[in-house]
Amino acid sequence: MMPICKARFISSSRLLGEVFLNFAEKGGDHLLKRMITGIVGVGLIFSVVQGENQAFASESKGTGIDAMPDDAYVSDPESIFYPGFMDSPNFRIPALYYTEDGTLLGGIDRRIGGPEDSPNEIHAAVRRSLDEGETWEDEGILINDYPDTASNIDLAFTQDESSERIFALSTAFPDGAGLMGGFGANTNKGTGFTTIGGEDYMFLTDEDENEYTIREDGEVYDEEGDLTDYSVDMNRDLYENGEKVDNIFSETSPLKPFETSYLELYYSDDEGESWTGPIDLNDQVKDEYMMFLGVGPGNGIQLSEGHNEGRLVFPVYFINDNERQASAVIYSDDNGETWHRGESPNEGRDVGDGEMINENDFTEQSHELTEAQVVEMPDGQLKLFNRNYSGYAQIATSFDGGETWQEEVETEEDLVAPYSQMSAIRYDGQIDGQEAVIFSSANHPTERINGTVRAGLIEEDGTYDRRAYKIFV
């Protein structure tokens, strides 16, 4: 029998110390990301100021402020990404991460071609603060900048504490590919890789549909297995006889990749000042029936408790064989060298009335779980907070580090949230002597308005006779 960890969310409380809060309105131009220091009233409501297409700019107002003590501190609003910065008119989908050495990384989609999702000219970018958000470096840093309408979209960060290597996970599309225009209109089912001699290689095609593969050291082979004059480097730049001729993700490349989504990993060993990548993960974690496997934007985590201590975990979601979305996590047990995808909470999920569904072929929109954030409980169990269509947060529980999930996904009716990305983080401190989870979302069942922050106190209550636990408010 296993102990049940529960989080009782409270309408108002005091948060002592330093708290990072994330709210992103994914479907619109307004974004909010705040760092709040000191004592914060839970239920605090935020709204974006200073116009459209800004990220990390906010002002506090509403009932949450009224509940705060007289000596509470709220920082002044500051625009970190704004129209014109880094020569971009639009910024969306922020991520905020505080490193082991105290660097604050603000990640963002730098959307040059407009606020829309892919296909679009979208670059993964970072801005750093070296004094815990008091000031920010003058220049932003590009993690990657594919040409034309090739894109990197939706960032998430985590860090391996043993090496202090920082990882950034992003979804990439080659030119012309993406989910805008409807599922399947600009992207196809598949990984973009083929297996030859037991090894997986990315394949390319030319205008005559001849197939090529990128082998070891970036050498390109034709479909007869002969070495060509082409080669491809880590940045996906294409060379012919050693001379750069294009980028394989561009509109004009003579050799093009399969038109689908690519899950890409980048890493930094210098506090986000420079980045190495992309490292393709499709061949490790994407299935051929998926037209899309993408990032749950925000943060990943490294597990600190239990059998899977040290495991790196990122939330992801994918489109199944019936064009329905399902969340999951990918994880690494070797410090980010190799990765695996766990089952979705929709695999073997009990949806009521004796009906069980599976991740790759369920059909109902009401059962979709999409962008998610993952939190570790004090005993090592995981809680996955899922975007969905119910009007509330839906929470899945794993007892094995995200490999499998409890068959019941709980609808938490005290956590109101529309169909929009939400944030959940483990609070690095205690509230009234208890461990806590900080949850933020738009506070409306259908509209992306009234961004609200709540604290949930973690409690053990009862036992569970399976391999997983429950969470409740």
- What gap in Å lies between CA 193 and CA 437, rounded to an integer? 39
CA angle 119–440–340, rounded 5-degree value: 55
Buried b (16+ CB within 10 A) or exposed e, 241-279: eeeeebbbbbeebebbbbbbbbbbbbbbeebbeebebbb
β-strands 193-196, 392-398 pairing? unpaired
Task: Name the 3-class secondary structure at 362.
Answer: coil
Residue 218: DSSP 8-state? G
Q: Is 371 noted as a catalytic residue in this protein? A: yes
Active site residue 207: no
How many C-beta neighbours within 10 Å does residue 113 have? 16
- The single residue listed with the structure tokens 């979804």 is 171
Annotated active-site residue in 25, 29, 109, 117: 117
**Residue 28 neighbours by CB under 8 Å, 6+ apart:** 115, 448
**How many beta carbons lie within 10 A of that of residue 459, not counting itself?**
14
What phi, psi does 20 have (nearest 5°)?
A: -110, 125
Sign of CA pseudo-dihedral 140, 24, 183, 340: positive
Residue whose entry in the numeric block shows the structure tokens 């490790």? 284
In sequence order, what are the residues at sequence separation of 6 or more whose Cβ sits closer than 8 angstroms to the Cβ of residue 355? none
**What CA–CA distance (Å, rounded) separates 177 from 258?**
10
Closest CA to 263 of 167, 147, 164: 167
Residue 434: count of CB within 10 angstroms of its CB: 15
Dihedral sign, Cα of residue 443, residue 320, residue 191, residue 165: positive
Q: Which two tokens stand for residue 388?
A: 């969905």
Give the residue from 166, 168, 133 showing the smallest Cα distance to 154: 168
Residues with Cβ within 8 Å of 252's Cβ and at least 6 positions away in sequence, in order, are 148, 246
Annotated catalytic residue within 271, 280, 371, 403: 371
By annotation, the residues acting in catalysis are 117, 371
